[in-house]
Amino acid sequence: MTTWTLAERAAKMNSSAIREILKLTDRPGIISMAGGLPSPKAFPLDAFTEACQTVMQRDGAAALQYSTTEGFAPLRQAIADFLPWSVDPEQILITTGSQQALDLIGKVFLDKGSRLLVEKPTYLGALQAFTPMEPVAVGVDSDDEGMLIEDFARQIGSGADKARLAYVLPNFQNPTGRTMSDARRQALVEKAKELDIPLIEDNPYGDLWYEQEPPLPLAARNPEGVIYMGSFSKVLAPGLRIGFIVAPKSVYGKLTQAKQAADLHTPSFNQRVVAEVIKDGFLDRHVPTIRAMYKAQRDVMLMALEREMAGLDVQWTRPVGGMFLWVRLPAGMDAQALLAKAVERNMAFVPGAPFYAGDAQNNTLRLSYVTVSAEQINIGIKSLAEAIKASL
């Protein structure tokens, strides 16, 4: 047997708990509310077919050639144009999905032992991306409006132990579905500016609002103090792997160098196809159909929870956008143990513990409603309630 010596950071690399659960539940008959996948019904297949043909016929050789690390200029301009604050396209870096953006930010900002602030709970994929840099991730107490400013200031640290950055998802957060209020956003930006802490604003779900647009982004309130991340995965298709960073010019160059070392550039063809699809206001016409679909499925899940969880000590969030809601089970109940009982009843979810940087709350779980039909939602939530009753 080969006994190769691996880097210490390799020991820090772990599989996503969600990916592992998806493997277990990927069998006929399972109603899975575990995945964070957008609905394939939302993919604009005809628009992509036409755009692919146009790109190949018009500039196929350039689309198949190496390109610049920063990204396709017309796509960067299009992104700048639809962001709700004034952005120079030269501050936009196209990434291979927003997951790469997290990796690049981690490489540029974090050393071994660096203090990193995250919400309680936070996006599991961010923890996974940052972990190989070996930071000390610290959860900040949070409520339905996001990070609590007092605890944020308390957790900053000082001197060599001062936090390098704080990572937040203000809009329809993964995993809870909560949205940071306008007042909380302003307070967080002001406190971060006062304490000189970079904010990393991850916004993959911001366009998926149901009743009204979410408040102004953090980056719009202090462009020099926030690195903003966006993605086309939830509004077009995740398989394209097209995300982007909007960064202050002071760190843009280092992020670009990190990307150059990672993959030279995001696929030229994919960038050109996305630019072709979104021209002429396509997203303004397409995204409302996604919102309507997801809102209807959210409504079905909320009604099913009200019906099936009656009399049980179970609480859940009521998201006003996005793809997820968060469930809190009776005190002392372990969602990981509950999962086995749910799978026996042909239903799956994601236990909440992996979404915490520390002090995990084991009686929590995440549900996704966007890839399951109304009928499946009703059956699945009934099965979940039966599993909970069997665990009492």
Question: Tokens 């998926």, residue?
Answer: 208
pTM for this predicted structure: 0.95
* Domains in the chain, CATH or no CATH each: 8-44+284-390 (3.90.1150.10), 66-282 (3.40.640.10)
Tens-digit pLDDT profile for residues 303-332? 999 999 999 999 999 999 999 999 999 999
Per-residue confidence band for 78, with pLDDT thresholds at 50, 70 and 90 = very high
Helix or strand holding residue 93 (H, E): strand 92-95
Checking if the pLDDT of 145 tops 70, the result is yes
Q: Average pLDDT of the chain?
A: 95
Tens-digit pLDDT profile for residues 80-127? 999 999 999 999 999 999 999 999 999 999 999 999 999 999 999 999
Per-residue confidence band for 19, with pLDDT thresholds at 50, 70 and 90 = low
Q: What is the structure's pLDDT at 10?
A: 84
Checking if the pLDDT of 336 tops 70, the result is yes
- By DSSP bridging, strand 350-351 and strand 364-368 are antiparallel
* Percent of the chain predicted with pLDDT > 90: 91
Q: What is the structure's pLDDT at 3?
A: 84
d(CA 23, CA 332): 27
Q: Side chain identity at 83, as an amino acid letter?
A: L
Q: What is the structure's pLDDT at 199?
A: 98
Per-residue confidence band for 28, with pLDDT thresholds at 50, 70 and 90 = confident
Mean per-residue pLDDT, 200-209:
98
Per-residue confidence band for 1, with pLDDT thresholds at 50, 70 and 90 = low
Checking if the pLDDT of 334 tops 70, the result is yes
Checking if the pLDDT of 26 tops 80, the result is no
Checking if the pLDDT of 174 tops 80, the result is yes
Tens-digit pLDDT profile for residues 267-307? 999 999 999 999 999 999 999 999 999 999 999 999 999 99
- Counting Cβ atoms within 10 Å, is residue 4 exposed (0-12), middle (13-18) or buried (19+)? exposed
d(CA 40, CA 295): 16
Secondary structure (3-state) at 292: helix
Q: What is the structure's pLDDT at 358?
A: 86
Q: What is the structure's pLDDT at 8?
A: 83
Q: What is the structure's pLDDT at 390?
A: 96
Tens-digit pLDDT profile for residues 379-388? 999 999 999 9
Checking if the pLDDT of 24 tops 80, the result is no
Mean per-residue pLDDT, 29-37:
90
Checking if the pLDDT of 18 tops 70, the result is no
Q: What is the structure's pLDDT at 12?
A: 79
Q: What is the structure's pLDDT at 366?
A: 97
Q: What is the structure's pLDDT at 190?
A: 98
Q: Side chain identity at 15, as an amino acid letter?
A: S
d(CA 147, CA 170): 9
89's tokens: 């396209």
d(CA 375, CA 296): 12
d(CA 275, CA 77): 9
Residue 71's nearest CA partner among 259, 237, 236 is: 259
Checking if the pLDDT of 17 tops 80, the result is no
Q: Return the DSSP state at 321.
A: B
d(CA 272, CA 62): 10
* Percent of the chain predicted with pLDDT > 70: 97
- Higher pLDDT among residues 36 and 254, named by residue: 254
